[in-house]
Amino acid sequence: MSWIEDEEIDEATKDEVEKWKKKFSKSTHKEYCGHKKKVQSCKWNGTGELLATTSMDTIVKIWHPLDRKNDIELKGHTGYVEQCRWNPTNTNELATCSRDKNIKMWDVKTGKLIHTQTTNGENINMDWSPDGSTIAVVLANKNKEDQVSWIDIRQWKSFRTLKFPFVTNAIRWNYNGNFFAVSSGSGSIHILKYPTLENFRELGAHTGSIYCLEMDPLGGLMAAGSADSLVSIWCQRELACIRTINNFDFPCRTMSFSYDSQLIALASEDPKLCVSHVKTGELIHSFKTDNNLNAVDWHPKLPLVAYAGDEKDRRGYVSVKIMNYGDVSL
């Protein structure tokens, strides 16, 4: 993918942007309700058949948007369930991390718990390595010196823990699994070589704390969302910032690339969801929500975007919603 300055955007790209705007102008939204407290994360599995959500109600829900009779709940955590990740090599395995100091691995096909791994701190975020062998988890410390621990799930042993002299809100492996990104409370991104975990480079990305990091599915880009309300887009190969997106007046809390890496969905403490064109940074679509959003995730194959947060239905249940900007039957 080549990148050019705004003033050099060609007519074909402009036409592409207008086509996206037209598609999203006809988008519809469907609501799925079930959590009793706010949703912290939502993630599609690799096939896009299942959607997992985690919540402050300690429950993990597995939704089958195309076949609702098979929805299930996974119970076992005793604290807020902050994050979930699907196994990149097994679409029926889900890992969840919680403030109860436990990581749990589930078989969603049977609804059974596979393993519980106790950690040394409250787990606030996690990621799963591209080869499926390792889970990394962020352990929050009250002194604002967070730790990241790497766990080999083949033996369920932590083989490395690093303490960082800053708050860490987000961690991500790159697409190839040869580097590992760690966000900081000062606005920088620390790049570690993997698997050696040697310090490689510190990127001065933002003027405020970085709340979220994402790698695009095609393996060329990295995005960071910050308390300074900006989103920065980075070339993974050069580790150079190639674009900034400014859709918000408040901190960006969550983001997700589209399956073809052309678009990025963003949500902030300002109650709205925005979709921007990655190449140009232009706003494609936005809409107001009733409350703040904590999670957004693009379907891996279809024109669907799941999003969730604090929104409740008439009965008081917290909902996850799916925006449909195509002709998918839900």
What are the DSSP calls for 202-218, one per residue? EEE--SS-EEEEEE-TT
pLDDT above 70 covers a percentage of the chain that reads 97
pLDDT at 6: 46
Collect all residues with Cβ–Cβ distance below 8 Å to 225 and sequence separation of at least 6. 210, 211, 212, 213, 231, 251, 252, 253, 254, 255, 266, 268
Whole-angstrom Cα distance, residue 264 to residue 260?
A: 10
CB-CB contact of 120 with 100 (8 Å): no
pLDDT at 259: 97
Collect all residues with Cβ–Cβ distance below 8 Å to 257 and sequence separation of at least 6. 214, 215, 216, 217, 221, 223, 263, 264, 278, 298
Point out the residues of the chain with pLDDT beneath 50: 1-7
pLDDT at 8: 60
pLDDT at 63: 97
- Cross-strand partners of 221: 235
pLDDT at 5: 42
pLDDT at 239: 96
Residue 84: name the closest of 67, 71, 97 by CA.
97
Scored b (16 or more CB within 10 A) or e, 243-275 reads bebebbeebbbbbbbbbebbbbbbbbbbbbbbb
Q: For residue 310, give both structure tokens.
A: 């604090």
- Cross-strand partners of 320: 32, 308
Whole-angstrom Cα distance, residue 9 to residue 7?
A: 6
Whole-angstrom Cα distance, residue 176 to residue 209?
A: 26
- Cross-strand partners of 201: 191
CA distances from 114 to 59, 95, 203, 215, 300 (A): 16, 10, 38, 28, 25
